[in-house]
């Protein structure tokens, strides 16, 4: 690895860890996540008590008796933590990246830095690497504290649960990296840090809030008109017509849900929430879709297999991984071609 890259990465890593901005947001993320885990353990214990009562009262004729063993999992506690990561993780990523390059422009330090034996690619790669290492430490510490709270509460995850928590941590890190790379891209494109921050926040609002709304509206248009009953308003409904109408409605909502899901792949927030749910509550992730009129009836299903789970979220995982690559690629290209005077 080039020495210039290591020097820039080390400097950026130290600057981030000693930054009041980074430390403040990190402390807030750590505190809020710890409170979320604490609340989650309380809900888990209540759920566990209810589970024990149901287990004791279950009989051979109880339709829920066969699925009781699949209900309880400590991973559900981390579902609350994912909600806080969506908010504070986004803030942390943006705060670390929006002035990474623009600050150097404003201070006129890029020209001085390039006068030394350091190449342009080493500067942007080193800054990104140092910041990512700081993010890894922040997120790793947050998850470690969360696990410590679980252990103090007497909740010991199994080996498979620890593996799922590790995957949850990686996915959360990639999500934060999306907004960090977005902020880095705008920092490389914009003339000053203020413009970079404003542009980043606008894109953040579009990706997190506007895209889901437009996605649902676009899906409604693409899916076409809602099926109409063969005998609207008739007091007597033919059983065959009703069955045909129900099938048409199911097909309509399946098509509308597919369109909405495809459009929502642009939103990092929805992709992360979908993946976090798949890790912490796989059964719920399989049952959840964009169809507000689909309801699961009967006893809860058993936990889905790995193939089924991957089939449900692979597109979300791919989209979440591609976005930071695209943002960083644009930032890299812009910085390498920038006229620095």
Residue 290 pLDDT greater than 50, yes or no:
no
Contacts of 91 (CB under 8 A, 6+ apart): 25
| DSSP per residue, 33-92 | HHHHHHHHHHHHHHHHHHHHHHHHH--TT-TTGGGGGGT--GGGGHHHHHHHIIIIIHHH
96-151 per-position pLDDT tens digit: 989 888 888 777 776 666 666 677 888 889 999 999 999 999 999 999 998 898 88
Q: Are 176 and 138 in contact (CB under 8 A)?
A: no
Instruction: Provide mean pLDDT across the span 46-72.
Output: 60
**Which CA distances in Å does 176 have to 106, 190, 222?**
26, 21, 32
Q: What is the average pLDDT across 318-328?
A: 93
pLDDT of residue 110: 67
Q: Band of the pLDDT at 303, cuts 50, 70, 90?
A: low
Mean pLDDT, to the nearest integer, of 164-178? Answer: 93
List Cα–Cα distances, 209 to 26, 153, 239, 258, 267, in angstroms. Answer: 24, 36, 42, 19, 8
pLDDT tens digits along 264-278: 889 999 999 888 888
pTM summary value: 0.82
Handedness of CA 101, 143, 173, 27 (dihedral sign): negative
Residue 110 has a CB neighbour count (10 Å cut-off) of 19
Q: Which of 160, 148, 12, 135 is nearest to 85 (CA)?
A: 135
Q: Considering only CA atoms, which of 130, 135, 187 is closest in space to residue 5?
A: 130
Distance CA 272, CA 275 (A): 5
Q: Look at residue 11 in the predicted model and tell me its pLDDT.
A: 87
Q: How far is CA 114 from CA 104, 119, 187, in A?
A: 11, 7, 18
Q: How many CB atoms lie within 10 A of CB 229?
A: 15
Q: Angle at Cα 55 formed by Cα 49 and Cα 61, nearest 5°? A: 145
Give the position of tokens 């792949």. 265
What is the chain's length?
341
The residues spanned by each domain of the chain are 3-337
Instruction: Give counts: helices (H), strands (E), the chain.
Output: 14, 0
**Over the stretch 9-26, which tens digit does the pLDDT of each residue have?**
888 899 889 989 899 988
pLDDT, tens digit, 9 for 90 and up, residues 194-250: 999 999 999 999 998 888 888 878 877 777 777 776 555 555 556 666 677 777 777
Q: What is the largest CA-CA distance in the chain?
A: 86
Q: Which residue has the tokens 């129900």?
A: 246
């Amino acid at each position: 690895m080039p020495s210039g890259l290591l020097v820039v990465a080390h400097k950026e890593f130290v600057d981030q860890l000693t930054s009041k901005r980074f430390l403040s947001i990190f402390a807030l993320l750590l505190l809020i996540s710890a409170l979320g885990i604490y609340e989650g353990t309380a809900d888990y214990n209540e759920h566990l008590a209810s589970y024990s009562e149901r287990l004791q009262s279950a009989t051979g004729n109880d339709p829920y008796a066969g699925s009781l063993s699949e209900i309880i999992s400590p991973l559900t506690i981390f579902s609350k933590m994912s909600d806080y990561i969506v908010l504070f993780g986004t803030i942390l990523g943006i705060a670390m990246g929006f002035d990474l390059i623009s600050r150097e422009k404003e201070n006129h330090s890029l020209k001085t830095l390039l006068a030394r034996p350091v190449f342009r690619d080493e500067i942007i790669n080193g800054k990104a690497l140092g910041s990512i290492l700081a993010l890894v430490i922040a997120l790793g510490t947050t998850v470690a504290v969360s696990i410590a709270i679980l252990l103090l509460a007497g909740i010991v995850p199994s080996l498979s649960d620890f593996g799922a928590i590790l995957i949850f941590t990686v996915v959360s890190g990639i999500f934060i990296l999306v907004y960090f790379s977005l902020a880095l891209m705008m920092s490389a494109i914009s003339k000053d840090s203020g413009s970079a921050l404003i542009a980043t926040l606008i894109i953040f609002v579009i990706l997190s809030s506007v895209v889901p709304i437009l996605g649902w509206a676009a899906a409604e248009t693409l899916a076409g008109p809602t099926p109409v009953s063969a005998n609207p308003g008739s007091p007597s409904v033919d059983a065959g017509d009703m069955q045909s109408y129900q099938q048409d409605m199911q097909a309509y909502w399946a098509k509308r849900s597919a369109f909405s899901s495809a459009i929502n792949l642009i939103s990092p927030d929805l992709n992360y929430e979908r993946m976090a749910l798949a890790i912490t509550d796989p059964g719920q992730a399989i049952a959840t879709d964009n169809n507000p009129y689909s309801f699961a009836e009967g006893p809860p299903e058993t936990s889905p297999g790995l193939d089924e789970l991957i089939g449900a979220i692979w597109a979300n995982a791919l989209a979440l991984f591609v976005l930071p690559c695209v943002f960083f690629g644009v930032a890299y290209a812009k910085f390498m071609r920038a006229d620095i005077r």
